[in-house]
Amino acid sequence: MAKANSNSSLFLFVSLLLFQVLHFSSSQSFIGVNYGQVADNLPPPAATAKLLQSTSIQKLRLYGADPAIIKALANTGVGIVIGASSGDIPALASDPNAATQWINSNVLPFYPASKIILITVGNEVMISNDQNLISQLLPAMANMQNALNAASLGGKIKVSTVHAMSVLAQSDPPSSGSFIRQDTMRGILQFLKDHGSPFTINPYPFFAYQSDPRPETLAFCLFQPNAGRVDSGTGIKYMNMFDAQVDAVHSALNAMGFKDVEIVVAETGWPYRGDPNEVGPSVENAKAYNGNLIAHLRSMAGTPLMPGKSVDTYIFALYDEDLKPGPTSERSFGLFKPDLSAAYDVGISKSSQVRHNQPCHSLNHNGISFSLACFVRLQ
């Protein structure tokens, strides 16, 4: 009888673990990707939609609101972020009808078949030198929100604006995080809190490494074994730059009384190619950063200040943008080539086995250890 009870208990335990693993494998909504369009060789939207469905990427960020792409993603379940450009801000701020027309043109024809989840108003406006534009940002966001409310979409689609890491006046150590332009930022943060919208930020450990190109910095930025860096304010040891940057944002939010505003990483990535004088770009480094970042997100470890959950993270980028100006690295962030083949493998294909340093789900029952997730395909 005891043996039967033990076997029943073991079966229940293993079944529960297997359920958890299958749930994990099918719910990676925290992995997104950016789709820039400064290129002349991009695949057709339908091909991109099919590509996304073959991966564990569940969210896509557009910098505009390309109707062909939004329509192609209908009924795929892929969450879509669309953007009003910084150039749209003056009209959106001064005329509520402009916001209504924007929603009428870019949201209503497609939603809910196309799963639009967030509208970003402007990109890195707060670090611009255009004081007029900065002062118009919050009114533009408010009018966009009001237009959504009028269309009965308030709460279903959020409104935010995207920030560069340099919106932080200080970020090292992470516990000292603080914002620039705090008077303006306070209004934006209150808006985000009032509407349950996320604070969206672009952390790039790649640029941190370029400014400090030591081997130990590279390992810290690539989630590779390193000595770690201790935050002198908290005593917390950070083992990677991504966590340190995200926690610096959390500290800045907390310092202003907005610690409960969700953080979303709108962009992060690593180029696989660069000019001879550029430090850091390589296939090896890009594969290590993006692959280890995805593994870190899947581990659900979170950051030291926000443990036990993964921040929604949009990797830059889905494809290269061959028409972008600047150094070669600017045109070399793509995870996929125009022919839809992978530039390098980071373990996001649904046909990939759990690998790339993925932790197995394990349990111990009566001294017997089990590891199951290693045999489950990631969805």
| Domain residue ranges in the chain | 27-211+242-344
How far is Cα 345 from Cα 350, in angstroms, rounded to an integer? 12
Cis peptide before 112 (omega within 30 of 0): yes
pTM to 2 decimals?
0.88
Tell me the CATH architecture of domain 27-211+242-344: Alpha-Beta Barrel (3.20)
pLDDT of residue 377: 33
Q: What is the pLDDT along the chain (379 residues), one digit of tens a residue?
A: 544 454 555 554 444 444 444 444 445 789 999 999 999 999 999 999 999 999 999 999 999 999 999 999 999 999 999 999 999 999 999 999 999 999 999 999 999 999 999 999 999 999 999 999 999 999 999 999 999 999 999 999 999 999 999 999 999 999 999 999 999 999 999 999 999 999 999 999 999 999 999 999 999 999 999 999 999 999 999 999 999 999 999 999 999 999 999 999 999 999 999 999 999 999 999 999 999 999 999 999 999 999 999 999 999 999 999 999 999 999 999 999 999 999 999 999 987 634 444 444 444 444 443 443 333 333 3
How far is Cα 54 from Cα 160, in angstroms, rounded to an integer? 29
How far is Cα 197 from Cα 191, in angstroms, rounded to an integer? 8
pLDDT of residue 248: 98
The set of catalytic residues is 124, 267
* 78 contacts 115 by C-beta, under 8 angstroms: yes
**Phi/psi at 131 (5° precision):** -65, -35
